[in-house]
Structures are given as structure tokens and as C-alpha cells.
Amino acid sequence: MGKEPVRWVMTGKGQPLAPVKFDTLSPGPDEVLVEIAGCGVCHTDLGFYYDGVRTKHALPLTLGHEISGHVVEAGAKVSRWKGRAVIVPAVIPCGQCDACRRGKGTICPNQKMPGNDIHGGFATHIIVPAHGLCEIDEARLKAAGIDLADLSVIADAVTTPYQAVVQAGIEPGDLVIVNGVGGIGGYAAQIAAVFGGVMVAIDVDNEKLAAISGQGAALILNAREKTPRDLKAAIQDFAKKRGLRQTEWKIFECSGTRAGQETTFGLLNHGATLAIVGFTMDKVEVRLSNLMAFHARAIGNWGCPPELYPQALELVLDGRVKVAPFVEKHPLSEINHVFERAHAGALKRRAVLVPEH
């Protein structure tokens, strides 16, 4: 099992995360013990830590829900998982309740989210239910030249926008707008392009816009340089020149900010679909009657059903969605520094914390 198991725990809002040694209990009959290769730092983690978003598990708690690693022990009913490389779903449904039986695992009342309902992935090891684990073909991983730790971000950063794209029903030739293309939005943009969408990227950071311009963006717009009205006019002009519809835009709000959410709501047009992917505690002022007048719809996106994970993983393994250019790895022991930089907006790529086994 390597060195003594360690997890970094949150004891209170903004309090330094501290390493705590722990005994790895044997997994239950339906559980596995995963030796963690990497765990991504998500905007949600920062919300728990800095903004006081309440976790379901009482503090102290180990945060982190984007996890990849190897199964080193497996319960009696799930022994086949031992030795396999896996991605742990960010939201693990029970698989047995009424919602799960009807294919609605993301609203499972018994779901477990690492770093919220149970201890999470900013640790050397984690015990999780085996239900929903996504197996990784390590031979293909090696052939693709991808680090297992990098694949941690598939759990949430890739799969959540993947579900959003599926729910929105993107078809070839649709005009797709992604607001906020750093982190989760960068993957939303790539996935939308894979599905055939003509993708418009909006952000306030020119570096992030430049990074996504080489990954399928047909138009990039800086929201700091244009009013919301001018943004919509620029997109309308682009659609006209490209022969695209001026209706039924697919709009993805990934910034997780008040300004971003208000901007994207203002982009609604007739028959539009607005997918809310980013999260903020801030209250937003919008005119809900616009949904009625435009016969538009707004859809939430909480996690991703485990059954969609293999499809999202396939996009990464075959190179259609790029992960490595949008992540940067740091030792887990630097977690406090990484959190500070992420919160300050100083990171241009998604941080993945790698345990020093």
C-alpha cells in the first residue's frame, strides 16, 4: 500500500488544510479501496472552503471529488475490481432506488459525493462504493501518452459538461455558446465541437480564449471588452455570415459567476436552451418571463450519470477531447498554496493534486 495513508482535512471555513494520518479500514462487501493517482481542484471545493457552502458530512472533512487511481483492495461482492485503474464518479448514485431505476441517478436521494457526503480525494487513499466506477484501459492510456492523474478531471470537469451537451441535444450545425472557457467550460467547448456544434467561446481572460481557439472555437469574444448587448449582436452577426440559425442557440453557462449568469441569460433567443453548468452562491437578477416569451428552456446539470462516463473517457482516449493542455499537476502537500492561487484566479489551468505515495 506504500506509505502510511494520509488525508488533508478541512476543519473550518478558510482554516489551513492539515494532513492527518489514518487507518484504511477494509472496504465493505460492495466497496473498494482506491490508491489515488490524482485529484482535481474544482470550483466547488473552493466554495466549500472559502464561501462557507455547507457540506453534508460534518467537519472535519477531506474535500476533493475528481479522483483517479488504482483499486488496491475490493470487497467480497466486487472482487473483480482489484488491480484496475479507475475514475471515481463525482456523484455516486445508489443504483437501487426509484430514481436510479428510472435512469435519474443524478437526483438519487442516497447518492454519495466524495468531499461532501464522504471523505474525498485530497488524500492518498479513499474507500468508495464500487457502483459506477469507470474502468480505464491502461494499455490505451499508455498508447495515448496520458498520465492517469490527468484523467482525474474526467470526474466532473469533463463528464458534467458531457452530460450538459447530451441533455441540450446538440446536433451538427447548431450554434453553441460557452460562457467561461477556463476549467469545466474549456471541456464543454471541446465536447460541443465534437458533437458538431459551431462553437462561440466567451470569457474575460484572453489567455483562456487563446487556449480554446485551437480546440474548436469558431469565434472568441472577451466579455470585458463588450457590453452584453454587443456580445449578442456580435454573435447574431457571426451566425448570419456563417448561414446559421438566429434561433435555438445552445448556451452553456460555465463561469459560475453572477455576471456570467446574467450575461448568458441575456443571450436567450427563440427556442434557445440554457444549460447551467457553473455554480455560484451569488443571487442573480433575471427576467424569467424571457423563457416564456422566447419559448426557451433552462436546464440544471448536477454531476453526470456513471453510465455516461465511458463515453466521455472514450473522447479523451481517442484524442477528440484534450485534457493534458488544460491541467497542471502539483504535489498534494502543496494543497494550501494551490487553493490560494486557484481562489485568486492565478491558475490558468485546472490543478491536479498528486499524492506523494
pLDDT per residue as tens digits for the range 148-166: 999 999 999 999 999 999 9
Torsion of CA 69, 104, 300, 164, to 10 degrees: 60
The model's pTM is: 0.94
**In the predicted structure, residue 2 carries a pLDDT above the cut 60:** no
Domain regions of the chain by residue span? 6-156+304-354, 159-300
Find all residues with CB under 8 Å of 168, minimum gap 6, and list them. Answer: 250, 252, 273, 275, 299
Could you say which DSSP state residue 260 is in? H
Give the architecture (CATH level 2) of 159-300: 3-Layer(aba) Sandwich (3.40)
Find all residues with CB under 8 Å of 221, minimum gap 6, and list them. Answer: 200, 201, 202, 209, 231, 234, 235
C-alpha atoms less than 13 angstroms from C-alpha of 85 in its C-beta half-sphere:
17
**In the predicted structure, residue 1 carries a pLDDT above the cut 70:** no
Domains 6-156+304-354 and 159-300 share a fold: no
pLDDT digits 0-9 by tens, 101-120: 999 999 999 999 999 999 99
Give the separation between CA 267 and CA 246, rounded to whole angstroms. 11
Percent pLDDT > 70 in the chain is 99
pLDDT digits 0-9 by tens, 39-87: 999 999 999 999 999 999 999 999 999 999 999 999 999 999 999 999 9
Mean of pLDDT over the chain? 95
Give the architecture (CATH level 2) of 6-156+304-354: Alpha-Beta Complex (3.90)
